[in-house]
Chains A and B, each alone.
Chain A
Amino acid sequence: MSIRVIEEKCNGCTLCVKVCPQGGIQVKDKLATIELDRCNLCGACVSACQFRAIKIEIEKQPREDLSRYSGVWVFGEQSRGRIAPVVFELITAGRQLADARKCDLAVVVLGESLDKAIQGLSDYPIDKILICDARELAAYDAERYSRVLSDLCRQLKPEIVLAGATTTGRSFLSRVAVQLYTGLTADCTGLAIGEDGLLHQTRPAFGGNIMAEIICPYTRPQMSTVRHKVIPMCPKSPNGRKPDVVRLNPKPQLFGSRSELLEFIEQVESTINIVDADVIVSGGRGIQAPDNFAVLEELAKALGGAVGASRAAVDAGWIPYSHQVGQTGKTVCPKLYIACGISGAVQHLAGMSSADTIIAINKDPNAPIFQVADFGIVGDCLEVVPLLTRRIAALRGTAEGSTG
C-alpha cells in the first residue's frame, strides 16, 4: 500500500503541489516528492497529474464471488403511509442502472400497513416491490431498519442499493454499510455503470469545491445515497407491466432496538422544509432587521416557495436554524434561488450553488454573490422585493394587486 512518484514521468510542473489538501508535496530540482507522514492517500494528486506520474498501489481481492450479487434496489422510504418524493427520482437512476446491468429493479419498503402506500409505485417502471410489513417497523428506528435491510441484503444479494440522502436514509444506510462491510457513497450527483461493470458514483466534497468519482470494487452491494431534487423524477409508465409485490417476513429477532420513539412533533410552518422547495427566497444581513423576513415571506408565498437564510441572519437570531442554507446548514437545489442582501461567502455558496437559476439582489456591486448569480440586481432588496411581489399579484389579477 503506497504512493509513489514515477521519476521518469514527472517534470516538476507543481500542479500536484497545488491540489494537495495536506500541503504534503514539494517540488525540488523538477521532481515532486511526497511527504509520506502528511499524505492521507486521498488521490487528488494522482488525478490532477497530467503526466500520470503519481501512482497509488493497492493489493486487494474480493472476499467472495461477486457475480452472485444481482439486482438494483431503491429503498422506498416512507413516513406515515407516504412514500418520500426522492424515491421517485431514485427510480429514474435505478432503472438506468438496472437496464445497463440487465437485471431487475426493485423498490424495498419497510413499515406497517403498506398496501395503500405502495399503490403509487405501481405506475412506475419497476420490476418488483419488496415489502416488510410489521407493527415494529411502523416508525423509523435506526437499529431495526438497518438490521432488517442488512438481513435482506445478505439473503437476496442485490448488487446496488440506492436511498435518499434524507435524515433517515443517511443515519441508517451508514449502519447497513458497516454491518455488511461494504461501501456507501453519500450525496451522489451522478450514478452510472462504467466499462468495468462497476457503479461509478460522482459526488461533491469540500462543500462542493471538488468533485470525486468513487467506486466500490471489492464488496457488495455498492451503496449510494442521493439528495432530493438532484435526479429528475421518473416519468410514469401506466401501460407498462405492473411490478410484482413480494411480501417478506423479517425474523422477529431483528426488531430489537435500544431506542424508543416517544413523540413526533410536526413543524406547523410549511416553509420549514426548504429542501423540497422549487423556489427559495433567501435573506442575509443585508435585509437589515429580522422583521424584514416578512417581506421575503410575501414573495416566497407569491412564488409558491420557501424562505431561506444565510448563516449571518440565523446566528443573529433573526430566523430559526432550519432555514439556514450553506455549509453548516442545508444544501438546496431549487429551480430558482433568490438571494436578498446576501454577500455570497464561500460557505453559503456551498449550500446553493447548484440551483438552476440564481438571482441576487444586493446594494453592494462587489458582493461575491454576483460572481455566481445568473441575474445580478444591484439595488436595495427592501425596496425591490415588495414592488416585485405587488407586480406578481397584479399579473395574477388578485385582489391584492391594487397599485400594480
Chain B
Amino acid sequence: MKIAVCIKQVPQTTEVKIDPETHTLIREGVESQINPFDLYALEEAVRVRERLAEQAEESTVTVITMGPPQAEAALREAISLGGDDAILLSDRAFAGSDTWATSYALARALAKIEPDLVFCGMQAIDGDTGQVGPGIAVHLDYGQAAYVARIESIEKRRITVKRLLETGYERVAVRMPAVLTVVKEINEPRTPSLRGKMNAKKAEIPVWRAADIAAPEDKIGLLGSPTQVIKVFSPPHREGGERWTGEPAELADKLCELLAEMKIV
C-alpha cells in the first residue's frame, strides 16, 4: 500500500513576538517547525504502515510538502520521525498560492505517486483554514474523511474511521483511495529514533517543479489563486485591565459582585 503525508513548514509561534511600538508581528529570526497537526498525520501514517506490516503487508510512507527551498528541513525531520521518503514541491511559480492553488499542486504531485491513503493534519496553524485536505480529495477524486480521531480498521479497499464532531463522534466507512485529515486526539507522536535521524541525514529528496507535475500556469501560484490578500494588519491590541489582590474570601466577594454587575449571575 502507498501512503502519503502532506506536511507544511510553519513559523514557530513560541518565538513570535509583537513589537510593542508598532504592534506588528516581529518575524525576524523566527524558526520554523512542522505544522503541529501534521505531526499527528505523519505518526498515524507510520502506525498504519506498522499495523499492515504485522499482517505481512508492505507499505511505504512518502512525505510531501509544497514550499520554498528551506522546507526541505521539515521533510528531513519527517523522515527522522518515520517517513520512508520525501518529495519537495518547490518552484517560484507556486509563490502566492492560496488554498485552491496549493491543493491543486499537491494533488498533481500526489497523482504521480498514486497513494491509497493520503494523511493531512486538520489545519495549519498559520493559515488556520483546514481547506487543503478536502481540496486535494476533490482534485484527485478520492474519498474523504475530515477530523478523524481514530482509524478503526482497514480492510480490502475500505477504511473505517471515527470522526470528531462538535457534539460527538461519527463512525464512517470510506472507500479507498481516500484523503484523511486528522485531529490531535488520534495518537501521540513519537520522537525521532536514532535510525530515523540517520535516514533523514542520508535521504535524497527530489525537488519537483511546476513542469514536473505538468501544472498549467493558471492553476498555480498567484494566477491560480481565486482569493487575494489585499491587506495585512494587526488585530486590535488587547491590554491587561484591573489587578486585584487580597484574601480569598475578599476576592470571591468582589468577583461575585462583578459577575452580578455583568448580569452573568
A residues sitting closer than 8 Å to B (CB atoms) are 1, 15, 17-23, 36-44, 47-48, 56, 58-60, 79, 142-143, 146, 166-168, 170-172, 174-175, 177-179, 181-187, 200, 204-219, 258-267, 272-273, 275-276, 279, 302-303, 320-322, 324, 327-329, 335-336, 345-347, 350, 353, 357, 359, 361, 365, 370-380, 383-384, 387-388, 390-392, 395-396
Q: How far is the CA of A59 from the CA of B19 in the complex (A)?
A: 35
Beyond A181-B226, A264-B171, A379-B248, list 13 extra A-B contacts (CB 8 Å): A42-B96, A43-B232, A58-B222, A142-B146, A178-B139, A200-B230, A258-B174, A266-B167, A276-B166, A302-B265, A371-B239, A376-B241, A378-B244
Closest to B122 in A: A328
Q: How far is the CA of A27 from the CA of B143 in the complex (A)?
A: 48
B115 to chain A, nearest CB (A): 15
B180 to chain A, nearest CB (A): 11
19 contacts between A and B (CB under 8 A): A42-B232, A47-B231, A58-B223, A143-B143, A170-B130, A170-B146, A171-B147, A174-B99, A178-B138, A206-B125, A207-B125, A207-B126, A211-B234, A262-B171, A265-B171, A276-B166, A303-B259, A328-B125, A392-B259
Q: How far is the CA of A269 from the CA of B125 in the complex (A)?
A: 28
Whether B243 and A346, one on each chain, are in contact in the complex, defined by CB atoms closer than 8 angstroms, is no
Closest to B27 in A: A21
Q: How far is the CA of A371 from the CA of B18 in the complex (A)?
A: 13
Q: Taking A206-B13, A207-B125 as contacts, is the C-beta distance between A273 and B228 under 8 angstroms?
A: no
Q: In B246-265, which residues have CB < 8 Å from any A CB?
A: 246, 248-249, 251-253, 255-256, 258-260, 262, 264-265
Q: Say which residue of B68, B70, B181, B264 sits within 8 Å of A279 (CB atoms).
A: B264
* Interface check B53, CB cutoff 8 A: no
Q: Say which residue of A23, A174, A262, A273 sits within 8 Å of B29 (CB atoms).
A: A23
* Interface check B196, CB cutoff 8 A: no
Whether A372 and B238, one on each chain, are in contact in the complex, defined by CB atoms closer than 8 angstroms, is yes
Q: How far is the CA of A23 from the CA of B11 in the complex (A)?
A: 11
Whether B131 and A186, one on each chain, are in contact in the complex, defined by CB atoms closer than 8 angstroms, is yes
Whether A215 and B230, one on each chain, are in contact in the complex, defined by CB atoms closer than 8 angstroms, is yes
Q: How far is the CA of A69 from the CA of B217 in the complex (A)?
A: 26
Q: Say which residue of B19, B165, B183, B241 sits within 8 Å of A18 (CB atoms).
A: B19
Q: Taking A19-B24, A264-B168, A376-B243 as contacts, is the C-beta distance between A259 and B173 under 8 angstroms?
A: yes
Q: Chain B's interface: helix, strand, loop or mixed, by majority? A: mixed
Whether A371 and B240, one on each chain, are in contact in the complex, defined by CB atoms closer than 8 angstroms, is yes
Whether B143 and A20, one on each chain, are in contact in the complex, defined by CB atoms closer than 8 angstroms, is no
B87 to chain A, nearest CB (A): 19
Whether A212 and B232, one on each chain, are in contact in the complex, defined by CB atoms closer than 8 angstroms, is yes
Q: Taking A47-B233, A171-B134, A260-B173 as contacts, is the C-beta distance between A391 and B98 under 8 angstroms?
A: no
Contacts of B253 in A (CB 8 A): 391
Q: How far is the CA of A266 from the CA of B11 in the complex (A)?
A: 37
Contacts of A209 in B (CB 8 A): 13, 16, 18, 25, 235
Q: Say which residue of B221, B230, B259 sits within 8 Å of A213 (CB atoms).
A: B230
Whether B166 and A166, one on each chain, are in contact in the complex, defined by CB atoms closer than 8 angstroms, is yes
Q: How far is the CA of A112 from the CA of B5 in the complex (A)?
A: 36
* Interface check B178, CB cutoff 8 A: yes
